[in-house]
Structure 1
Amino acid sequence: MNVIAFLKSPFQTTRSLWRIGQTVLGIIFRHPITGTSIIPLLSDGKIVLIRRRDDGLWALPGGMVDWGEDIPTTVRRELLEETGLELIKIRRLVGVYSAPDRDPRIHSICVVVEAEVQGTMEIHDTSEVLEIKAFYPSSIPQEPMSHDHYRQLQDYLSGLTTLA
């Protein structure tokens, strides 16, 4: 398109740009996003949970994998941001959860791991986290929990490795 045609038809140009934008957004957002949930274990056997700011519910710490990160790096970063705790080691894969409705915001694939952690619980990301608390497995809050975290915890406590 030449400059004169561009100046004469800004509506058509805007509409073309909108179509290109829709195509790009469709490519980006029509694919699931990869994230993590972490089941952080303290040395006394307690499991650390966070209370989310957006829905007020208890949840596992975790979040989306950033560009250029692998899952262990994401686990380490999210633990520190949301709980102030340091990752000692990832003990095991608990499961991969991919149901399109598992996260009300987006279609995400969640890799859930059990992690040995240490340090002092402290909220670093106040925009996401209201509260941090450690629970013995027998006193984990019941449903409702955020997203599908109650199921993830139940699978973990049952010793399962889940692909769902």
Structure 2
Amino acid sequence: MTIQFTRNLWRFGQTVLGVIFRHPIPGTSIVPILPDGRIVLIRRRDDGCWSLPGGMVDWGENIPDTIKRELKEETGLNLVKIRRLVGVYSAPDRDPRIHSICVVVEVDVDGDMQAEDTLEVMEIQAFTPDSLPSEKMSHDHTRQLQDYLNGLTTLA
């Protein structure tokens, strides 16, 4: 089995267990900031929408390790520094797949943009804050990004 297949199988298993046991699943959204100040977004393959990179916390993993792993898998970028907590989002309908609790952080990144997980990510692009896509983003990422841009720390 490939490592990617094993990871995808593990994520699927986590999702199923979350549904069975009816407990929210912890995850992250990442606001990656390149050295030139641009914000990196991904276009998700499942819904075709722009999104912040991120994902579910794996068993035995802490939030900083999840951020580092998901950032690398979805963007190819390296975590330089976690800057700040943007918020914690826990509305039961924030993710159409499952009830998840999302910890959103702003991070400094470097490296070359190249998705390792091409099953999830169809495009990666960096935007200046004044040129962000205007269309609806995946999940509640429009709100997360707006809270970030407004300098808020949100508990929702």
TM range (shorter): 0.7 to 0.9
**Corresponding residue of 1:106:** 98
Aligned to 1:121: 113
Q: Is 1:54 aligned to 2:41, yes or no? A: no
Separation of aligned partners in 1, 2:18 and 2:100: 15
The 1-side partners of 2:18 and 2:62 are apart by 24
- 1:140 maps onto 2:132 in alignment: yes
Identity of aligned residues (%): 77
Question: Deviation at 1:29?
Answer: 3.5
* Aligned residue type for 2:68: R
Q: CA RMSD of the aligned region, Å?
A: 1.5
Paired position in structure 2 for 1:88: 80
Matched, 1:78 2:70: yes
User: Which residue of 148, 155, 162 maps to 2:154?
Assistant: 162
Instruction: Give, in whole Å, the separation in 1 of the partners of 2:151 and 2:92.
Output: 24
Contact 1:143/1:150 (8 A) holds in 2: no
Larger radius of gyration: 1
Structure 1's 110 and 27: CA in aligned 2 closer, same or farther, altered over 3 A?
closer
Task: State the Cα distance separating 1:143 from its structure 2 match.
Answer: 3.4
Letter in 2 for 1:112: V
Cα pair 2:74 2:117 within 8 Å, conserved: yes
Contact 2:18 2:24 in 1 (8 A): no
**1:27 Cα deviation after fit:** 8.0
Helix, strand or coil for the counterpart of 1:153?
A: helix
What SS does the aligned partner of 2:27 have?
Answer: strand
Unaligned runs of 5+ in 2: 1-16
Residue 124 to residue 158, structure 1, CA distance change in 2 (3 Å): same
User: Could you tell me which amino acid in structure 1 is paired with residue 62 of structure 2?
Assistant: D
Match for 1:109: what amino acid?
Answer: I
Per mean C-alpha deviation after superposition, the further-off stretch among 139-148 and 92-101 is 139-148
Q: Which consecutive aligned stretches of 4+ in structure 1 deviate over 3 angstroms post-superposition?
A: 25-29
Cα distance per residue 1:106-128 (max 9 Å; x no partner):
00000000000000000100100
Q: Distance in 2 between matches of 1:27 and 1:91?
A: 33
List gaps (5 residues or longer) in structure 1: 1-24
Q: Is the 8 A contact 1:38 1:115 kept in 2?
A: yes
Aligned amino acid, residue 91 of structure 1: R
Q: Secondary structure at the match of 2:37?
A: coil
So what's the TM-score if we normalise by structure 1? 0.83
Q: 8 Å contact 1:51–1:58 — kept in the other structure?
A: yes
